[in-house]
Structure 1
Amino acid sequence: MTFRTILCAGSALTAFAQPASAAQPVTTEPAAPTPSAATPDATTPNPLDILVTARRRSENVQSVPLAISVVDARALEATGSFNVAKLTQLQPSLQFYSTNPRNSAANIRGLGAPFGLTNDGIEQGVGVYIDQVYNSRIAAATFDFLDVEQVEVLRGPQGTLYGKNTTAGAINITTRAPSFEYEGRAEATVGNLGFVQAKASVSGPLIADTLAIRLAASTTERKGTIYNVTSGRRVNEQDNLGFRGSLLWRATDALKLTLSGDYNRQNPECCAQIYVRTGATQRPLNRQFAGLAAALGYAPPSTNAFDRVTDLDTPLDAFQEIGGASLRAEWDVGPGTLTSVSAWRFWNWQPSNDRDFTGLPITTRSNNPSKQDQYSQELRYAVSGDRIDYVAGLFAYHQEQHTTGVQEQGAAASRWLLNPTSANANNPAVLNGLTSSNDILFKSTSLAAFGQVSWKVTDRLKLQPGLRVNYDRKSGNYVSVVTNGQGVAIDCTVIPSTNTILRDQCATLPPQSYNPKFADWNVSGDFTASYEFARDVLGYATYAKSFKSGGINLAGLPLDANNRPILATQTVKPENVNHYELGLKTQLFDRRATFNLAAFWTEIGNYQATVTNGQLGVLRGYLANADKVRVRGIEADFFMRPSERLTVYASGAFTDHEYVKFVDAPCPPELSGGTTVTAGQTPSAPGTPGGLSPANCDISGQWLPGISKWAASYGAEYNIPARFFGREGQVYAAFDGNYRSKFSSNPSRSAYTDIAGYAVANFRAGARVAEGWDVFGWVRNALDKNYYDILATQSGSTGLIVGQPADPRTYGLTVKTRF
């Protein structure tokens, strides 16, 4: 029986079965419109009425013993949080890093994905779910939110109900459901930098009370924030297009089916990382960036990244398309609801990058176009009773991915990349035209059974155990064929001692071929005890034992002394997670204020870290296991609406983080590039030109990358009643801000890649009519703060640090209406 047969059978089971009874359902419909701390109005419901589906059933958010943040459509639209990256301005515990859509990572509490270039053979640790469908590739998080009702950010391991891909948390996105009343929404925004965004949706019945349809579309365009003097074009632009459609069929009083489909496309000229600074390494001085640039007569167009200019000489492209279809069947049977979610999704990625980050012909092509299909099937039965609530289910998933990469070196590669002791270092012909053509196949299958019970021991005390059994099988095929400038394939299995040209070519782009495989069973679980100390005061304590699946390296392996791949590095072990959490969820002042606290302690064994290959010409990293990392901290969320006129909110997080033990980590750039020490030798001081470099570094006790010790978001809105054309409305003004303290932007912390802390302020003001028009002007990054989203190093230990400056001040006007 094929996987596709299983998927179709799962759909048929619930789609055509006849209901046994008309018992009260445990609904998993999208939650009703929920309040927004950012855009309240006179009809905003109390925060206690926010409904979430974090535990795969609809519940009030304050009754769920879990650290969870909810942002509804109004807050997303008002603050310009139109994708996951923008959502981080409202969620201090959520981090999102991206050098392009494929090389993106969503982290919660600093955990989730290795920091650095993406490796297809591993899992993310933050699951992205859209209408209960898992999206395996983080590129899905770079697309615009399309007709979204609300976004739930679940913090901490969610492995019992959401699976092995949620060791750090989950992002649960719910779109608007088809309506049996005619309704429509439209929104248009214009701003500086040529920003134009339009969204629209319509919904209504096709057959009264039986069949409803919903259609939605969105488009976003904006000029690039960086000017490329080589091409005369602005890069890092936005060019997004999305469509979604869904049908809701109430087949019987107890059975309903929702068929959904979506297509999303991006085609921006993106993504440039530009010159930020240089730092001293241990490579000989004339082989560091300044010396090399001088020898080639090169100077970057600016040494101030916030001039926002570059001279990249390779065309940039970040074309991608993602979409798929799903069928969700919900059948009220017995005391609960049986839910089936069947889905197929695809992702096509067609990039073009400049991986030397300069206007020099060092690496003239570096592209990894990729195509992926995934199939998933989940069956779930949920019951809410007087004393016992439970969810039990089965999950099956299969993914296939094909990547065809190419990397080509140019005329400046020999001088830039080769060891200075090589006689060929100044001979352009040695590496010019050297091309690696990669063919990469990846297959992954995952099967799971899971269950969670909530036992109401008393009216105040609840105990919630959960368990998940998971099986993973992964296989890959990596073939890299390397040809020289004459188009002849090179063979690195035997290199004559006199053939220094072949030796240098093999050290730069070695041919490789290997077939990694991984298979394993894992059991994860959690236990939560919650107690209602008083009305609107809930405390909880959680222990979770979770894991992230082991992986396979599919970006090339490090080489041994004979230029052969080290096959021991082709797989990485699963991460083992022990998580402890205490929480308090309260409402105060007659439920006009909400104050929630969470304290957590997470330890991960065999942490999957990205390791930058030390060989000079290698541009990609591979994966390795760090012995142990630890992240612990405290989070607080506050919301208050003292009157119908004023709303304030604040969220903050303190996060302590470190590699507890990582003794064989890659070294930071200031300790790289020199002659590797041998027995009895001592490494030179950091940044010593021509010095001795350690083979690896012990970074135990150092920071993890990407995590700020302090982070916060905060804001307020004040409104005044007004009448517009005889209708009740409001004029309003609002402020939203966020802050992050300093964080490391390198897997091994470097003095050159720390990103300084920053605070960003956003303002908006406008007028609205209830259930009608809303017109407001906005300014984001109002103080035009200069800061970086991410920093990275150039390969070859040249000391070049590149990065992506965050968006400058932007401003515009938004008009929304409902009809």
Structure 2
Amino acid sequence: MTHSNLFRTASCASALLLGLGVAAPTLAQSTDETVRIKDEIIVTARKTEETLLDVPLSITAITAADIERSGLDSIADVALQTPGFSFRQGFGRAEGGANSRPAIRGMSNVLGSPNAGFFVDGIFVSDSITSYQLDNLERVEVIRGPQSALFGRNTFAGAVNFVTRDPGEEMQGRISAMAAEHDAYELTGYVNGPIKEGILYGEINARFNTFGGDYENADGGDNLGAQETTNVGGKLVFKPTDAFTARLNLGYSQVRDGGFAYGGLGSNNLNCFQPNVTGSFFGIDLSSNRSRGYFCGEIEVPDTLAFNDAELNDLGYEGIERDSFRSSLQMDWDLDNGYSLTSITAYNSSDNINIFDNALVSSTAPNFSIGKTSRNDFSQELRILSPRDKQFRWLAGGYYFEENDGEGFDAGGVYAPNGQSNRPRLFDSGDKVENIAVYGMVEYDATEDLTLSLEARYQEDTITATEEVLGAADSTTRPAFTDIREIKYDSFLPRVTARYSLNENTNIYGSIAKGNKPGGFNSVPPQSEFFNPQDFAEFTRDFATFEEESIWSYEVGVKGQDGTGRLNYNLSAYYIDWSDQQLTQSQPYTTASSGGRSGTTFPAVVNAGASEIFGFEAELFGSVDRFDYSLGYSYSNAELTDFYDENAEELFDTDGIASGQPGDVDGLNGQLAGNKLPQTPAHQINASGTYTIPISDTTDWFARADYNYESKRFVQVFNLSHTGDSHMLNLRTGIDRGNWSLSAFYNNVLGDNTPLVVTRLLDFNRPLLIPDPVRSFIFLPNRRFTFYRDFTISGPRKSQFGVRASYKF
């Protein structure tokens, strides 16, 4: 980000807030205390209730009032209002891959499990979070920095906890309807209150949301990006005595999406590091170097996008189909001596069908990747908490988690309405994750102003991987899985924090924490797919597994307020030492079915090396009379310090000879130390302002603006191509008459068209033969069959105008 762009962006955000706030001091002070003084919000980031001001962690808390007034709809919207948190839904709402890349403090991942974990009421969400509704929440807590000590696996960059709303003492409810451009409609509502006064309370909530898509489909079918979501949930709170409370939470979600808005760059548009073509072999280009070509500079969303809906629908599929069920039971006992005991039991399941159209252009014979997976998980947590009003306090707990993959099918291949390749081939999976942990926290008030705490977790991860065997097309038989493999990881994960109160309105804190992300198995293609045993042996040796990665994080910060709610602030700086980092290498291989004349690629997760990250975050929020505001900025310098990548060695190759081989003259060795981590921005700015004017004793008019800036994100570790900077501005205005409200909104006012995600692939329509020191291709020695480079690009939501009406009772 250049200095001029930074100044322009900061000026835009400042003008936005100032413009909304003009003349505000002459008006009466805001009556919305939840928005006005956020330090009064209670958070549970350390498994106990603490005020946002007192907890010695960097947390952004987004309340139900924030969600309603901003019109937040998904986790991606939450990220737009959170400094240091970037979440881009790359390919619609597909599970995994480009949609599992939450980046907190620059800690991005390309494949493998996410670096940040998602939770609902403290319960880990193992499937996709992209369709989870936000209108049944009390708040969202985004906790930055490693949370492994108390939250466990998959939280070594941070954690996002969705806290659901409890039913109240009085019967109440809300119904809301929305209509907007691009055939977008939503109907949502809830009702809650006492079922048996003083003992049993309940809530029922439901939401139906549909979006018709906003990109024209070059194939002539439905618009791209169409989505449909149905959510139904309920909560029972049983409180027979003041000392015991039980909460039963149930939820069901159904997703039915069409083809998503993505397209290919096209290998003909590559502009750097081109293959040096010296001839051809039966129409296949022969190159004297090993590069497959690349694109340098900013990648833009293609003018033409296509998803072959007609052919897909003919096979009986849509773009994405997901059914999820979530359930939990939390029981809390307040004991007579001030101790409390908590039990949380949860069971979740999901069935997911993901479909990718690999043609990337309109085609009468597209190649589809169609796959169904199923998963369920069970968890049990027990913890005891000592009295909180003592000088010495403690917490201890135990945790068990088990995740199982089950039945599925594979129906991919070139479109053939009556062909075997498109018919479901069933399989059964035995993939499994088992986690057993004990954890605890001790906290001590060393002085009246200084509090020290130590948290720690010891856990054992057991990861089981199996090879899924595909059945015959259309068969109802599910072959048993084979090749059961198992890895165990033991981890000790501590965190030390100190908090010092300068005065009643200002705290400074520091922390040192260790986080980890378990290793695991790559899904290496089975031996039957390989052209020769040597290739399979190499893949098994080099890519069958990847190891655990870990970080040490060091953070200092200051939190405070002016005591009136006009100004609240949260400032933090951090340094992260990251080792055995997991990144992806795209490995091509030659298939046996083609007799060695064509191939495909295998995305292998590998332990890339090491990185260092340093940065800082700043949040300001509060209320000046009738003007509520928040302003955030984050900077993250995420840099590789040791990463060898053989794809980089090939990309930059000039002589066709691998490093260290006889005759090598260019001396390239694929070392990328000093490059920035991909898929994460260095700079983020988020600014929100709500200006309210009373127009009668019972009615207010409000105007709100939400702005987000993210600097460019590199596509890969090579740092050659990037997405460019993004500027997202959403506006909203309306009237609020207590029990009903009417508002209009205009999203993406600036028409930002920055790609959400760009991923590196190969152009399977353009084969290429490159030098190879070991392999041969048919009659050609020392040649490897591969393809020219290509990229897939996912488009963002376009500008949209709409209206919403809500009624509370």
Alignment TM-score, normalising by the size of structure 2: 0.81
Matches within 5 A, 1:371-450: 371-383=374-386, 384-402=388-406, 404=408, 406=410, 408-410=412-414, 440-450=429-439
* Offset at residue 180 of structure 1 (A): 2.5
1:138-157 deviation per Cα after TM superposition (whole angstroms, max 9, x unaligned): x1233332411110000000
Judge conservation of contact 2:109–2:115 (CA < 8 Å) in 1.
no
Q: 1:444: how far off?
A: 1.1
What are structure 2's unaligned runs of at least 5 residues? 1-19, 286-298, 313-317, 476-480, 591-598, 764-786
CA contact (8 A) 1:603 1:630 kept: yes
SS at 2:155's partner residue? coil
Letter of the 2:430 counterpart: L
Q: Assess if the C-alpha contact under 8 Å between 2:101 and 2:109 holds in 1.
A: no
CA spacing shift, 1:350–1:674, aligned 2, 3 Å: farther
Q: CA deviation at 1:562?
A: 2.0
Asked whether the equivalents of residues 518 and 571 of structure 1 are also in contact (C-alpha less than 8 Å), the reply is no
Structure 2 CA distance for partners of 1:762 and 1:176, relative to 1, 3 Å: same
The match for 1:83 is 74
SS in 2 for 1:815: strand
- Paired amino acid for 2:513: A
Per the alignment, residue 260 of structure 1 pairs with 249
Any unmatched runs of 5+ in structure 1?
A: 1-36, 294-302, 413-428, 488-511, 686-693
Residue in 1 that maps onto 2:686: 713
**Partner residue, 2:321:** 319
- Partner Cα separation in structure 1 for residue 665 and residue 77 of structure 2: 43
Residue by residue over 1:104-157, the C-alpha shift from the partner in whole angstroms, topping out at 9 and shown as x without a partner, is: 2242435566314xx5xxx432111101211122x1233332411110000000
- CA gap of 1:182–1:589, structure 2 versus 1, over 3 A, is closer
Contact between 2:175 and 2:189, CA under 8 Å: does it hold in 1? yes
Structure 2 CA distance for partners of 1:393 and 1:52, relative to 1, 3 Å? same
2:566 equivalent among 592, 607, 612: 592
1:787 maps onto 2:754 in alignment: yes
**Change beyond 3 A, Cα 1:720–1:474:** same
- State the alpha-carbon separation in 1 of the partners of residues 209 and 649 from structure 2: 39
Provide closer, same or farther for how the CA distance between residues 564 and 67 of structure 1 changes in structure 2, counting only shifts above 3 A.
Answer: same
Q: 1:47 aligned to 2:29?
A: no
Q: Which moved more, 1:538-547 or 1:305-314?
A: 305-314
Q: Is residue 140–residue 322 contact of structure 1 (8 Å, CA) maintained in 2?
A: no
Q: Once structures 1 and 2 are overlaid, which stretch shifts more, 69-78 or 456-465?
A: 69-78
- Matches of 1:142 and 1:757 in 2, distance apart? 26
- Given residue 219 of structure 2, which amino acid in structure 1 is its aligned partner? T
Asked if the contact 2:261–2:305 (Cα under 8 Å) also holds between the matched residues in 1, the reply is: no
**Alignment check: 8 A CA contact 2:676 2:719 kept:** no
Query: How far apart are 1:271 and its partner, in Å?
Result: 2.7
Supply the distance in 2 between the matched residues of 1:202 and 1:433 (Cα, whole angstroms).
45
Counterpart of 2:519 in structure 1: which amino acid?
G
Tell me whether 1:350 sits opposite 2:353 in the alignment: yes
CA distance, structure 2, for counterparts of residue 342 and residue 672 of structure 1: 55
Summarize the alignment of residues 763-778 of structure 1 with structure 2, pairs less than 5 Å apart.
763-770=731-738, 772-778=739-745
Q: Which residue of 1 aligns with 2:782?
A: none
Q: C-alpha separation between the residues in 2 aligned to 1:683 and 1:91?
A: 49
- The SS at the match of 2:736 is strand
Among 505, 517, 538, which residue is 1:548 paired with? 517
Q: Which residue of 1 is the match for residue 109 of structure 2? A: 114
Partner of 1:176: 165
Match of 1:101 in 2: 94
Number of matched pairs = 707
CA distance in 2, matches of 1:149, 1:711: 26
- Counterpart in 2 of 1:309? 305
Aligned equivalent of 1:608, options 582, 590, 594: 582
1:658 aligns with 2:628: no
Cα RMSD over matched residues?
Answer: 3.3
User: Which secondary structure state, in structure 1, belongs to the residue aligned with residue 102 of structure 2?
Assistant: strand
1:362 and 1:611, CA in 2 relative to 1: closer, same or farther beyond 3 A? farther
Q: How many Å apart are 1:167 and its aligned residue?
A: 0.1
SS at match of 2:241: coil
Amino acid corresponding to residue 100 of structure 2 in structure 1? A
Aligned ranges for residues 8-407 of structure 1 at < 5 Å?
Answer: 41-45=30-34, 46-97=37-88, 98-99=90-91, 100-103=93-96, 104-110=99-105, 114-116=109-111, 119=112, 123-137=113-127, 139-276=128-265, 278-280=269-271, 282-283=274-275, 305=301, 307=303, 309-310=305-306, 312=308, 315=312, 316-333=318-335, 334-360=337-363, 364-383=367-386, 384-402=388-406, 404=408, 406=410
Aligned to 2:728: 760
For residues 184 and 743 of structure 2, the distance between their equivalents in structure 1, rounded to whole angstroms, comes to: 15
Q: Which residue of 1 aligns with 2:710?
A: 740
Write the letter of the residue equivalent to 2:168.
S
1:621 matches 2:595: no
Change (3 A) 1:434 1:152: closer
CA distance in structure 1 between the aligned counterparts of 2:497 and 2:442, rounded to whole angstroms: 10
Greater displacement, 578-587 / 783-792: 783-792
CA distance in 1, matches of 2:359, 2:700: 53
Distance 2:143 2:405 in 1: 28
- Say which SS state the counterpart of residue 257 (structure 2) adopts: coil
SS at match of 2:53: helix
Query: Separation in 2 of the partners of 1:96 and 1:403?
Result: 30
Residues 306 and 355 of structure 1: CA distance in aligned 2, closer, same or farther (over 3 Å): closer
Report the Cα distance in structure 1 between the residues aligned to 2:665 and 2:713, rounded to whole angstroms.
27
> 1:567-586 residue pairs with structure 2 within 5 A?
567-568=540-541, 569-586=543-560
Task: Please give the secondary structure, in 2, of the residue aligned with 1:567.
Answer: helix
AA matched with 1:382:
L
Contact 2:371 2:412 in 1 (8 A): no
Q: How far 1:284 sits from its partner (Å)? A: 6.5
The whole-number CA distance in structure 2 between the counterparts of 1:759 and 1:529 is 37
SS in 1 for 2:223: strand
Question: 1:554 deviation in Å?
Answer: 2.6
Indicate yes or no: 2:782 matched with 1:800.
no
SS at match of 2:676: coil
User: 2 CA distance for matches of 1:768 and 1:624?
Assistant: 54
2:620 is aligned to: 638
- SS of the equivalent of 2:695 reads strand
One-letter code of the match for 1:309? Answer: L
The answer to whether residue 446 in structure 2 is matched with residue 453 in structure 1 is no
Work out whether residues 251 and 326 of structure 2, in 8 Å CA contact, stay in contact via their aligned partners in 1: yes
Match of 2:130, SS? helix
Q: Deviations over 1:321-378 (max 9, x none)?
A: 1112111100012322101000100011012221242335786231221000100000
671-680 or 234-243, larger mean C-alpha shift: 671-680
**CA distance 1:670–1:570, change in 2 (3 Å):** closer
* Superposed CA offset, 1:604-662 (max 9, x none): 1111112211337334412110121122100000013121x112221010100111111
Deviation at 1:438, TM superposition (A): 6.9
Q: Tell me the distance in 2 between the aligned counterparts of 1:325 and 1:287.
A: 62
